[in-house]
Structure 1
Amino acid sequence: MTASATSITSSLPTGFDPNRTYRAAVIGAGSGGLTMAIGLAGFSHEVVLIEAGPVGGDCTNVGCVPSKALLHAAAHSIEDPFGYVRAKRDDLAGREEVEMDEHDTIHFLRGRARLTDQRSPHVVAVARPDGSEVEVRAENVIICAGSKPVEFAIEGMPSERVLTNETLFDLDEIPGRIVLIGGGAISLEMATAFRDLDVEVHIVELANRLIGNDDPLVSSTIQAALEARGVIMHIGTSIERFDAATNTVHLADGDQIDGVDYALLAVGRRPRLDGLGLDVAGVDHSPKGIVADDWGRTSVERIWAVGDITGNTLTTHGANAIGRRAVRAIALPYLLTTGSPRAMPNAVFCRPEIASVGISVEEVASKNRAGRRRYEVHFADTDRGYTDGVEHAVVMVDVERFTGKVLRAAIVGPAAGEMIGLFTMAIDHGIGLRKMFGTVHPYPAYAQAIGKLVDDFARDTYPALPKEWFAMIRGRIFDRFRRRVSR
C-alpha cells in the first residue's frame, strides 16, 4: 500500500474497507437513502452511505421539517420563529448524523459520489471533502440524490431578495411583505405561516387556478379560504420585473405590488442529475429524472433509483414507500417482485389542510360517466363544522357505481391529512363505499363528513341495485374498450 493510500484510508470511517465489496452503496442520505440504508442494515447487510451535504436531505433540512416547524411557530406566536425553526432542524439533522456515524453496519462516508463503468461489483468513485478520492465497491448501488428547486432570475431583483425553500429558513427577521411565486404546496403552506406572522402575502400563479394538479373544487375552496385570511391572489399572470428604487414588483397583467421585501420561488423542483456519472454507467435518464420502475430498478442491473431523483415521487412518504420495496427486492431476491405499490396519498399542510389519494383528476375524467358518481359534503353541513365555524372545507370522492369503489378522494379542511387515511386504506384493500355503509364515526368528529358522504351513496344505490349494477358493468366495458383502443 502506498503512503498516499494509507493517508486516505486513515481518514475514512472506522471499519470501512475500500477493497471490500459491500451489499450496497447508497448515494444520498435523504429520506429515500436513509430508508434504504437502515432497511438493508436491518437484514444484517453492511452498507456504505455516501452524502456530501447534511444528513436528512431536503426533508430534514429545507423541506418538511422546517416548513412544519415554521407553521407551528407562527400559529403559536413563538418568539423568534426562524430561530425556532433552525433549532428544530439542526437538532434533528444532528441526531440523524450521529445515528449514521455510530451505526454498526452502516458506514457513513462523506463525499460526492459518481458512478463508473465498472460492474460486478459496481464501483462508485467518491470525492472526499479533503480533496482525495476513494472507491466504494458494492453489489448494488442505490441512487437517492434528491431534487433541487427550479430557479430563475427576476429582472431587476437583487439575488439576496429572491428566496427558495433552501434559503427561506435562514431569514433572521420577519418580512413585511412577501411574494410567493407559484400556487403549489410550498406557496400554500408558506402563505399560511406568513399570514399568522402578520406578513402581507401575495401569491402569483401563472395558471388559471391554484394547485392545478388537483380537482378544481379543491382549487376554488383553498383560494377562498386563503383570501378570507387576507392572502392576495394574482392568478393567470407572472412577474415581469422588479423596480429596486421603489421595491415594486410589476406583473404581466399590468398590476403591481409595492414595497416587496422578498420573492419566494416555488414553481417546482428538478432532479439532481449532474455529476452522478449516469451516462458513463449507462443508466437511462431524462430531464425528468432517472428512469426507474416502481421497485426502483433502473436500466442497469443492480443499479437502483429511489425518490425525487426519479421524478416518480416528490414526497418523503413516496420515497420511503418505494425504498421499502427496493429493500425487499435486494434483501429477499427469492420473492417475486410483482404487484403495484400501495395507494400514495398527498397532503398540503396549509390551513385548511388539503389531502388527496387515488387516480389522477384526468384519469377520473376519462372514465365513462355512466359508470361513476361523485359525492361532495361540505364541512359546514356537519355539526362539528357548525360548532367550529368552518366555512371553506369539503370532502369529495369519485366512485364506481354499485360497489362504491373509490377512484379518487380529496379533502380540504381541518385534519385532512389524517382523514385521508381512511380512503387510502379503502383503495388498498378494495373497500368501497357500499362496504363502508354503517361504519360508526365518533360524534362530533370531522370524519362525520365521510359518514354523510357514504349515506348519500347508500341512498342512491340500495333502492336501485339492479340499475346500479348495470351502470357499473357498462362503465367497466367502456373503460376496457377505451384502454384497448389507446394501446
Structure 2
Amino acid sequence: MGSAGTREFDVVVLGGGSTGENVADVVVRGGLTAALVEAELVGGECSYWACMPSKALLRGSEALAAARAVDGARQAVTGGQEVAATLARRDSFASNWDDSGQEKWVDDAGIELVRGVGRLDGERAVVVTAPDGGTVRLTARSAVAVCTGSAPRVPRVDGLRDVDPWTSREATSAQQVPGRLLVVGGGYVGCEMATAWAALGAQVTVLQRGQRLLATLEPEAGDAVAASLRALGVDVRLGTEVTAAHREGGEVVLATGDGELRGDEVLVATGRRARTDDLGVDTVGLEPGRYLDVDDTLRVRGVPWLYGVGDVNGRRQLTHMGKYQARQAGAAIVARARGEQASDADWAPTAATADRLATPSVVFTDPQVAAVGLSRARAQADGVPHRVVTHPIGSVGGAALHADGYSGTAVALVDPEREVLLGVTFVGPGVGELLHAATVAIVGEVPIPRLWHAVPSYPTISEVWLRLLEAYRG
C-alpha cells in the first residue's frame, strides 16, 4: 500500500513501552498533542519480557523458601513448586502477551496510537511503516522523543548466533522448562533466570567470564548469590569464557576453557545494546547503533528538538529509571513548548539527576540484593572519600523472626567529611523492601546525626539501620 500522507502533532514519541507511555502522558497532561508509535506490544519490554514475567517466575520459589525458613510453617510444605501453575501465573502477569488493555489506556489518556515501525526522517519528522506496508509521515511542532529502549547483546563468539540462543525474551516467556540450561553471563538477568529455572527443575550451568557474579555490585552480593545458586544445584563456573558454539542434533554445544559443555538451550545474558541501529538517526546527523548522548533534561546534545529517554540513552537501564526520566523529559518538553524558561541554564525542575546520584536496583535472587548509590569499587575508581560500614543483618531481632537462621549483610558507604550516605547495599531474604529508606537518605543527603532520630520499629529487619549507625560511631 502507499502513503497515507502527513499528520502533525506537538510531540511524536517513538516507542510505546513504559518510558514512551509516560512521556506521552506527561505532555498530553501538559496540554500538548502526542502520537505514540509502537511496532510490537504497547507496554514494551518490562510488561511482556522483563520485569513482570521474570518476577512472576521467581515469586513462587521465593514464597516456598520463606515458608521453609520458619519452623512450624516448614512442616506444612509437603510438595514442590507446581510448574504449570507457575507458568500460567507468569502468563497472566504478561497479560498473555495481549496489549489490548494498554491500548485502551493510551486511548483514554488522549494519546494517538500509531501502529508500525517508526524511523526518523529529518528534522522533526518520523515515517511510520504500518503492518500492511502503508506509510504515514508524522511531524512534530515541538519535539520527537526516542524511547526505543535497548535489546539483548549477543557477543561475537564463533557460532553463537547460529545456535538460536535464548535472550531475556525467551527466558522469561518459555512455555516449557528446559532440561539443561546453559547461562552465559552472571549479571542480573543471568542470576535471576538461573534461579527461576533451576527452582522449576532445570539443570542449570552458569558461565561467568569474571571471577564474581553480579560484578558491578558489592562483593558480598555476588558471593552470596553464587553460594545460593550452588545450594540450589546450579553449576556456577567463574573465570570461564565461551569461545565457540554449535548444535549437534537438538543439543547446544559450547566450547570453553574448561572443556565442552552441552545443554538443551543456551541463554545469552551478556548485556544490552541501544536500539538505534535502524532508526534513521543518520538523517539527523547521529551515528546508528550508538546510545543517544543527552543532557539532564534528556535532550540530545546538538539536536534541540530531539529527546532520548530511558534505555536508549544508556544512563541507567532500569524500568523505574526510564519512567523517572520520562516524567522529567515530558516536563521539559512542555515547559519549552510554552516558553516558560528564559534559558537552558535554569532547568532544575525538569533535570534528571536521580540516575546519576542514587539509582536503586533489586536483584530478585535468593537472597535478594538491593543496592542504591555508590559501591566500594565505584567510590575508589572515582576517587570519592568514603568509609565502609558493614553489619550482619541476621543479628537483629526482626531478621531472626523473619527466618530461622537468617543470613545477610548490610553495607553502607559514608562520606566521612559531610557525614552523609553515599551508597547502601543489602543482601538477604526480603531486603528489597528496605531499599527505599536508603534511597531517600541518599537523595535527601540526610546527615548521619539526623538519621539517629529516624527510629526503626521493633522488631523489624529495619533495625539494621540502628546497627549500621552504631558501627559507624564505633
Deviations 1:295-346 (A, max 9, x none): 1110211110101111112111111111111111111232531355122212
Measured against aligned partners, the alpha-carbon deviations of 1:105-125 in whole angstroms (never above 9, x if no partner) come to 21100111111223xxx2211
What per-residue deviation string (whole Å, max 9, x for no partner) do you get for residues 132-170 of structure 1? 111111121000011111125876779576211122244
> Which one is further off, 382-391 or 189-198?
382-391
Unaligned runs of 5+ in 2: 64-80
What is the match of residue 97 of structure 1? 103
Counterpart in the other structure of 2:39: 52
Paired residue secondary structure (2:461): coil
Deviation at 1:366, TM superposition (A): 4.4
The residue type equivalent to 2:387 in the other structure is: R
Q: Shift of the alpha carbon at 1:368?
A: 6.4
* 1:82 maps to 2:87: yes
Partner Cα distance (2:388, 2:229) in 1: 25
Report the 3-state secondary structure (helix = DSSP H, G, I; strand = E; otherwise coil) of the residue aligned with 1:289.
coil
Q: Deviations over 1:264-316 (max 9, x none)?
A: 1111110111221111112x457441111221110211110101111112111
Residue type matched to 1:347 in 2?
Answer: V
Contact persistence 1:52–1:112 (CA under 8 A): yes
2:28 — aligned with what? 41
Judge which range, 441-450 or 167-176, deviates more. 167-176
Which residue is equivalent to 1:312? Answer: 315
Residue 381, structure 1, aligned to residue 395, structure 2: yes
The match for 1:451 among 445, 466, 470 is 466
* Contact in 2 for aligned 1:373/1:400 (Cα 8 Å): yes
- For residue 372 of structure 1, the aligned residue among 383, 386, 391 is 386
1:236 Cα deviation after fit: 0.5
Change (3 A) 1:280 1:361: farther
Query: What does 1:67-466 correspond to in 2, within 5 Å?
Result: 67-75=54-62, 77-80=81-84, 81-90=86-95, 93-100=99-106, 102-103=107-108, 105-118=110-123, 122-138=124-140, 139-152=142-155, 162-240=165-243, 241=245, 244=248, 247=251, 249-258=253-262, 260-282=263-285, 284-285=286-287, 287-298=289-300, 299-333=302-336, 334-335=340-341, 336-338=346-348, 341-342=353-354, 343-366=358-381, 372-387=386-401, 388-401=403-416, 403-458=418-473, 460=474
Conservation of the 8 A alpha-carbon contact between 1:181 and 1:263: yes
CA distance in 2, matches of 1:279, 1:181: 33
Aligned with 2:10 (options 23, 36, 60): 23
Matches of 1:457 and 1:390, distance apart in 2: 25
* Contact kept? 2:281, 2:288, Cα under 8 Å: no
Q: Note closer, same or farther for the CA distance 1:162–1:87 as it changes in structure 2 (3 Å cut).
A: same
Q: Which of 271-280 and 335-344 deviates more?
A: 335-344
Computing the radius of gyration from Cα coordinates, the structure with the larger value is: 1
**Letter of the aligned partner of 1:33 in structure 2?**
G
Quote how far apart the aligned CAs of 1:104 are: 5.5
1:361-415 deviation digits (Å, cap 9, x = unpaired): 444114768x532110112222233341345421101102264311111111123
5+ unaligned residues in a row in structure 1: which ranges? 10-17, 461-487
Judged with a 3 Å threshold, the aligned counterparts in structure 2 of structure 1 residues 170 and 363 are, in CA distance, closer, same or farther, namely: closer
CA-CA distance at 1:421 after TM superposition: 1.0
In the superposition, the TM-score normalised over structure 1's length comes to 0.83
**Given the superposition, is the C-alpha separation of residues 444 and 199 from structure 1 closer, same or farther in structure 2, using an over 3 Å criterion?**
farther
Q: Is the contact between residue 276 and residue 288 of structure 2 (CA under 8 Å) also seen in structure 1? A: no
**In 2, Cα distance between equivalents of 1:105 and 1:439:** 43
Q: Is the 8 A contact 2:424 2:438 kept in 1?
A: yes
Question: What per-residue deviation string (whole Å, max 9, x for no partner) do you get for residues 198-251 of structure 1?
Answer: 322211001111111112222222222322332221000123445626947455
Q: Please identify, of 438-447 and 207-216, the stretch whose mean Cα deviation from structure 2 is larger.
A: 438-447
Q: Relative contact order, CA 8 A, sep 6+: which one is greater?
A: 2
For 2:67, the equivalent position in structure 1 comes to: none
Say if 2:61 and 2:199, in contact at 8 Å, map to a contact too.
yes
Whole-angstrom CA distance in 1 between matches of 2:290 and 2:100: 31
What is the DSSP-based 3-state SS (H/G/I as helix, E as strand, rest coil) of the residue aligned with 1:399? strand
**Aligned equivalents of 1:153, 1:84: Cα separation in 2:** 35
Q: In the alignment, what sits opposite 2:52?
A: 65
C-alpha change, 1:357 and 1:285, in structure 2 (3 Å) is farther
Shift of 1:56: 1.0
Q: Which amino acid aligns with 2:102?
A: E
Residue identity matched to 1:337: W
Inter-CA distance 330–419: structure 2 relative to 1 (3 Å threshold): same
Q: Aligned to 1:193, what secondary structure does the other structure show?
A: helix
2:458 maps to amino acid: Y
Aligned-pair CA distance for 1:257: 4.0
Query: What TM-score does the superposition give when structure 2 sets the normalisation length?
Result: 0.85
Deviation for aligned residue 1:441: 1.4
**Cα shift at 1:359:** 3.0
Q: Distance in 2 between matches of 1:59 and 1:166?
A: 10
**Secondary structure class of the residue paired with 2:101:** helix
Whether contact under 8 Å (1:377, 1:394) holds in the other structure is: yes
Q: Judge conservation of contact 1:396–1:410 (CA < 8 Å) in 2.
A: yes
